[in-house]
Amino acid sequence: MDSLEEDLTCSVCYSLFSDPRVLPCSHTFCKTCLDNLLQVSTNYSIWRPLRLPLKCPNCRSVVELPPAGVDALPTNVSLRAIVEKFQSESEPRPPSCQEHNRQPLNMYCVQDRQLICGLCLTVGLHQGHLIDDLQAAFIREKSTPSLLLARLSEQRWAQVCELGEQLEQEKARCEGLVRQDRQDVNQFFQTLEALLARKRQAYLDALDKAGAEVSQAYDPLIHRVKELQEEQLDLVSMGSSVEEEDSPLLFLEKVHLFRERVEEFIKIPLPSVINLSVTPRAAEYLQQHWPAVTIGSLEEAPVPKVCCCARCGGGGGSGVEGLSADRRVQESQLKTAMLLGLLSVLLALWMIPGKEWLEFFALPSYTELITCVWDKAGSAYTAMEAAIAEWSAQLSSVGNRVLQQLVALFKTSC
């Protein structure tokens, strides 16, 4: 639309063409613009009489106008029609009815005091209402705006202004509450983050301590093994040099030294492998203890003391764990035997008849009392001795088993 308007604009007045006329050079201008250009042109002396010269504003060529002047120039009819159509389409269209599409609002309903279309009057909501033409309604309603303005009193304006101020104050108050809540939320979660960070750091410190214990346990052993490796490599190198010796005297002397070093090296005991376990494991501990932790009890949330201890079970152990278990079984059996002996003594005393109680307490000496109790509880002591003998046999068996495991461990290390 903008490019079309530019094509329909006169290059002299920069407005839409008004009564466009065509010059002999085929350029078109408004009739009024050409009249003004002709009036300011004063160089007529070199032209033939009855001819009016005019310089075209576009191509700058001088053209001759008939004696009648601009009125004798032909009208650009096609261009004028296009300009008129463009102007008609550019004018604002009359409002249309919202209820009946594309129906113009060309009537005025006196009862409802609003514009309506023909369908509103015949079949719509305004059927049977009194109507008036637009001009008469315009004259009658001309004073309505001033009457409506009079109703807008200063008191009403003051109320509206006061209401606006109250709304602004309430908005500012609520925004302040939101900002305060935002600060409280940030502070609350920052506190939680700091507390969780402390708990995490405490757990990590415990793990660092456990790592230090692991290093303290394994580093000396590893260092010792490396020393043994270096010593053995040194011996291998020494043995190779001895083999290459051609002098009998030097050979025998080096062999003697090499033999002593090898025997001393073989006698050096190898360090045992330590099977350590880190307890408690973090995943199991956290899953067991932390699901029940609430925000209020976060400060008291447990952090374990991580430690490194010998791993129980498995074929790679030293047998100490099995020995401890057997010892606990044997101690339990010994306690059971002693309890049975004590019960036997009490049973023997209980089986003494009433008359014999007097004789029992009337025994002339402590020796006779012991002899009597011993006769009654002989079977209990016999059972206790059998339990002690069995415990000694089991302990000997466990000792032999531990010794066998240590021998096997040394052979594996070698």
What is the 3-state secondary structure of the chain? CHHHHHHCECCCCCCECCCEEECCCCCEEEHHHHHHHHHHCCCCCCCCCCCEEEECCCCCCEEEECCCHHHHCCECHHHHHHHHHHHHHHCCCCCECCCCCCCECCEEECCCCEEECHHHHHCCCCCCCCEECHHHHHHHCCCHHHHHHHHCCHHHHHHHHHHHHHHHHHHHHHHHHHHHHHHHHHHHHHHHHHHHHHHHHHHHHHHHHHHHHHHHHHHHHHHHHHHHHHHHHHHHHHHHHHHCCCCHHHHHHHHHHHHHHHHHHHHCCCCCCCCEEEECCHHHHHHHHCCCCCCCCCCCCCCCCCEEEECCCCCCCCCHHHHHHHHHHHHHHHHHHHHHHHHHHHHHHHCCCHHHHHHHHCCCCHHHHHHHHHHHCHHHHHHHHHHHHHHHHHHHHHHHHHHHHHHHHHHHHC
Q: Which residue, among 101, 112, 170, has the nearest Cα to 137 in the 3D structure?
A: 112
pLDDT for the residue 172: 95
Q: Determine the Cα–Cα distance for residues 40 and 35; give it in Å rounded to an integer.
A: 9
pLDDT (average), residues 213-224: 91
pLDDT for the residue 169: 95
pLDDT for the residue 323: 34
Weakest-pLDDT range from 19-23, 144-148, 226-230, 352-356:
352-356
Radius of gyration (Cα) for the chain, nearest Å? 62
Residues of the chain with CATH 3.30.160.60: 94-132
Q: Encoding tokens for residue 344?
A: 């036997």
More confident residue, 210 or 327: 210
Weakest-pLDDT range from 174-178, 216-220, 268-272, 363-367:
363-367
pLDDT (average), residues 51-65: 81
Share of the chain above pLDDT 70, in %: 70
pLDDT for the residue 364: 47
Q: Which residue, among 77, 126, 71, 79, has the nearest Cα to 100 in the 3D structure?
A: 126
More confident residue, 228 or 313: 228
Name the pTM for this structure.
0.39
pLDDT (average), residues 74-98: 81
Residues of the chain with CATH 3.30.40.10: 1-89
Asked if residues 52 and 69 have their Cβ atoms less than 8 Å apart, the reply is yes
pLDDT for the residue 320: 34
pLDDT bracket for residue 132 (50, 70, 90): confident
pLDDT for the residue 391: 59
| Residue 372 reports pLDDT greater than 90 | no
Going by their DSSP bridges, the two strands 52-55 and 62-65 should be labelled as antiparallel
pLDDT for the residue 183: 95
Right CATH for 94-132 from 3.30.70.270, 3.20.20.80, 3.90.550.10, 3.30.160.60: 3.30.160.60
pLDDT for the residue 275: 87
1-89 belongs to which homologous superfamily?
Answer: Zinc/RING finger domain, C3HC4 (zinc finger) (3.30.40.10)
Weakest-pLDDT range from 28-42, 84-98, 329-343:
329-343
pLDDT bracket for residue 377 (50, 70, 90): low
Asked if residues 13 and 30 have their Cβ atoms less than 8 Å apart, the reply is yes
pLDDT for the residue 342: 61
pLDDT (average), residues 97-105: 81
